[in-house]
Structure 1
Amino acid sequence: MRLFSVDGKLYKFMSTLWDILKLNFLWLVFSLPIVTIGASTVAAYSVTLKMVDNHEGNIMSDFYESFKKNLKQGIILGLITIFLAYCAYINIEVFNKAKDNPIIFLISGIFISYIGLVHITYAFPLLARYENTIKGTLLNSRKITYKYFFRTILLWIVVALLIGFFNFNVPLIFIGLIIGPSTVFYGASAISKKIFRNIENDNISSWT
């Protein structure tokens, strides 16, 4: 039956699922020092961007090569992301726990979250696909966010739904540990890749 053939949909689904499992394991292992989580995320995106483009490759070697290549910039980008997330968290926590609930902390938390999302959303896949400085990558992420704002909202919704799904109950949390992060990277790559293609096809010369 064609369903079970090498070209069948079931085979392709199982093959993709196996690749996602392997990629998730690599991402977790290489993220263990915490400080390398940014470089590990860039490496994961380098793999998922190829996966959504149906480019066959070796998951382990592709991941490791990208990890080595982008180690320094990935670490910096990861630390920037963690810092912004922590600042937003602290402000919102102060608002929630303070007796008089000072609104300035809520506004500050929301503002930092928005600024972080705008600059970080495409930063990791951009760094995985193109050579650039950290500043240039962050600025390009912001440009893409505003130029393709409705697609970016779709990306945020997809990521939020995936995170919410894998945190719905204990069994799904367990499944999320096995395939959650790489599934998020894969979903984000599917949307990002289309945007990158449009930019490349339009040959926009204004990118940093």
Structure 2
Amino acid sequence: MRIDPESRSVQGLTVLLQFVALNVLYVVACLPVVTAGAATAALYEVTLRYADDERGYLLSGYLVALRRNLWRGTAVVAVLGLPVAGAAFAAVFWLSAGSVLGTAVGVVAVLLAVHLAGALLYGLALVPRYDDPLGRTLRNAMLLPLAEPLRTGWLVLRPLATVAVVYVAPQAVVLVATIGFSVGAYVDALVLHSVFRRRQGAGEVVSPHSGE
């Protein structure tokens, strides 16, 4: 029996195994917790490239991207991560109050949490995508949810849906730990490409790494 390495089935299996390995690398990179921002920025870098006509290398590219995005990815999470957690806590607290005022404040907190969560995800994607100072990256990350509310909603909904599935069916955590993060980032990359194409302005400096 002869197996054609160029066949679609073999290539599909190869890509699947690469995404599984990429998922494992991501989970390991997140284990120190403080490196989660850099790990996610690196994951976005390789999936953004792969979503753009399957360019770049998923595994070796991730290791390079992890080192390259270390401090900026960590800084984005340090600046935006706590406000996201605070807004989410406020939303749960006020919505559980059971009063009209609590519901009103809770709705505002939910909208704020969605905005900040979208800004966090945009920030982690902007880090590898553009060679901008950290301040400009954070400013653009905060503005993008206002400019792209629909796409931001989809971007935030994807991880929330993952958490909901794991909550309803705890056995799904095996699937998430195996391939969920890498495939989820690829889905995010498709949305992010749409946002970046729409918002690409004259004079913006694109990271040389985005074309690897």
- Given the two structures, how large is their TM-score scaled by the length of structure 1? 0.79
**Alpha-carbon distance between aligned partners in 2 of 1:96 and 1:149, rounded to the nearest angstrom:** 23
- CA spacing shift, 1:94–1:159, aligned 2, 3 Å: closer
Query: Is structure 2 residue 31 aligned with structure 1 residue 48?
Result: no
CA shift, 1:160, in A, is 4.0
**Alpha-carbon distance between aligned partners in 1 of 2:50 and 2:9, rounded to the nearest angstrom:** 16
**Where does residue 14 of structure 1 map in the other structure?**
13
**Where does residue 34 of structure 2 map in the other structure?**
35
Q: Given that residues 45 and 125 in structure 2 are in contact (C-alpha distance below 8 angstroms), is that contact kept between their aligned partners in structure 1?
A: yes
**Alpha-carbon distance between aligned partners in 1 of 2:90 and 2:100, rounded to the nearest angstrom:** 11
Q: Given that residues 24 and 177 in structure 2 are in contact (C-alpha distance below 8 angstroms), is that contact kept between their aligned partners in structure 1?
A: no
**Alpha-carbon distance between aligned partners in 2 of 1:150 and 1:98, rounded to the nearest angstrom:** 29
Q: Given that residues 46 and 56 in structure 2 are in contact (C-alpha distance below 8 angstroms), is that contact kept between their aligned partners in structure 1?
A: no
Name the stretch that deviates more: 157-166 or 188-197. 157-166
Superposed counterparts of 1:159-178, under 5 Å = 159-178=159-178
CA shift, 1:108, in A, is 5.2
**Where does residue 86 of structure 1 map in the other structure?**
85
Per-residue Cα deviation, 1:9-52 (whole angstroms, up to 9, x for no partner): 43333222212111111111111111110011111111111221
Q: Given that residues 92 and 109 in structure 1 are in contact (C-alpha distance below 8 angstroms), is that contact kept between their aligned partners in structure 2?
A: yes
Name the % identity.
Answer: 20
Partner amino acid, structure 1, of 2:191: I
Query: Is structure 2 residue 83 aligned with structure 1 residue 63?
Result: no
Superposed counterparts of 1:1-208, under 5 Å = 5-53=4-52, 54-57=54-57, 59=59, 61-95=60-94, 103=102, 106-107=106-107, 109-200=109-200, 203-205=201-203
Partner amino acid, structure 2, of 1:110: V
Per-residue Cα deviation, 1:26-83 (whole angstroms, up to 9, x for no partner): 1111111111100111111111112212114251x32222222221111111223430
Q: Given that residues 31 and 37 in structure 1 are in contact (C-alpha distance below 8 angstroms), is that contact kept between their aligned partners in structure 2?
A: yes
- CA spacing shift, 1:206–1:101, aligned 2, 3 Å: same
Per-residue Cα deviation, 1:148-202 (whole angstroms, up to 9, x for no partner): 43333343444444444455413322111221221211110122123324444xx
Name the stretch that deviates more: 80-89 or 158-167. 158-167
Q: Given that residues 37 and 77 in structure 2 are in contact (C-alpha distance below 8 angstroms), is that contact kept between their aligned partners in structure 1?
A: yes
**Alpha-carbon distance between aligned partners in 1 of 2:27 and 2:93, rounded to the nearest angstrom:** 31
Partner amino acid, structure 1, of 2:24: F
- CA spacing shift, 1:14–1:167, aligned 2, 3 Å: farther
Name the stretch that deviates more: 37-46 or 5-14. 5-14
The RMSD of aligned alpha carbons is 2.9
